[in-house]
A = this chain, B = another copy of it.
Amino acid sequence: MRRLRDVGEHAWVARLVHRLAMDVGGGVHIGPGDDAAVVRPGRASLVLTVDALVEGVHFRTGWLTPAALGRRLFGVTVSDVAAMGATPRWALLATESPAETASGVLDGIVRGFARGARGAGTRLVGGNVTTGPHLALTATVVGEIDRTPVSRAGGRPGDALYVTGALGMAGIAVRQLAGGRGGRLPQPPLRVRAGRLLAAVASAMIDVSDGLVQDIGHLCRASRVAAEVELDRLPVAPRCRRALGAAASRFAATAGEDYELVLAVRPAREAALRRIVPRLGCRLTRIGRLVAGRPAVRVIDAAGTPITLARSGFDHFRR
């Protein structure tokens, strides 16, 4: 096995650049291998976001193949672009890894990232490598949007709350993997197309990364409204339902890492939303509504009785 130490940073980068250079186009004027990438945007606004996956924090060795890890990094990062209703165009990948790492591991990560990106119409145009005590990956995605972006701040009392796809699948996988019960960490669902379509009707939108309740809380604070979420309405992933039975909805409400989209929709836009749903490529479930009041998320049962959850989601500094 050739380790990064055997290959050398510059030889590794040169080989990679050679491979990626075959793959430019799509508004890329200068791709990987120079001081910086140069791309030609259209006349749209730019959407900029950065996200990271850190070994021992977001994943453990063996939970994913290198290619799956790269693909996952792209998925979690592009999710923020999707949540603005924007189109991802270009990406940068920065890696930190021990010199003892097999060079094939870094190769696989880059390949998985670039393939995932390509599948969403996005080019990997540059990056950075450094050593470090563990594997840590940081991705930047630059998107374009030629309409008003959908921020977290446009929600109003009376708006309905919807969520794409299903919740709890990644959370239950992490729990099973951390408990040594094997399995695979599922890939983020890539709601890029759904985000773009839903942007036409959403008053506010956010992706579910830290946990549904907590992320709706972010939307509430930005919009200065409260929210009511009906626990029984949550679309719970079958894998989560099988594992937890009746407790699945509570778990899915806060587990996080779903990378689904939550959006608020004004009553007047409901008809337009219904016309869009068949083209989303995923389920869309009404889970509650925004109400007047201090920013807070009330989780309720079908009768409207409040349900207390042990936590609302993930906080990096408080685990």
Residues of chain A touching chain B, judged by Cβ–Cβ distance below 8 Å, are 4-5, 7-10, 12, 14, 29-30, 33-41, 43, 45-52, 54, 56-58, 80-81, 83-84, 86, 90, 92-94, 96, 99, 125-134, 136, 138, 140, 142-143, 145, 149, 151-153, 205-207, 214, 218, 221-222, 315-319
Contacts and interface: CB of A to CB of B under 8 A. Distances in A.
A129 B50 contact: no
Q: Which 6 A/B pairs are nearest by Cβ-Cβ distance?
A: A36-B49, A35-B83, A138-B138, A4-B317, A35-B80, A9-B316
Pick the most buried of A14, A126, A136: most chain B CB atoms within 10 A of its CB: A136
A316 B48 contact: no
B38 A149 contact: yes
A52 B130 contact: yes
Contact of A94 (B41, B138, B206): B138
A163 to B, nearest CB: 15
A157 to B, nearest CB: 20
Question: How many identical subunits does the complex contain?
Answer: 2
A298 to B, nearest CB: 18
B30 A151 contact: yes
A316 B83 CA distance: 36
Contacts of A45: 29, 38-41
A126 B48 contact: yes
Contacts of A84: 30, 34-36, 38
Contact of A125 (B30, B39, B48, B54): B48
B52 A96 contact: yes
A46 B54 contact: no
Contact of A54 (B130, B315, B319): B130
Contacts of A86: 36, 38
Contacts of A90: 46, 48
14 contacts: A34-B84, A35-B81, A35-B205, A36-B81, A36-B83, A38-B86, A40-B46, A41-B41, A43-B43, A50-B92, A52-B128, A54-B96, A58-B130, A92-B140
Given A29-B149, A39-B45, 12 more contacts: A14-B221, A30-B84, A30-B149, A30-B151, A35-B80, A35-B81, A35-B207, A38-B84, A40-B46, A50-B127, A50-B138, A94-B138
B129 A316 contact: yes
A315 B96 contact: no
A230 B133 CA distance: 38
Contacts of A39: 45-46, 48
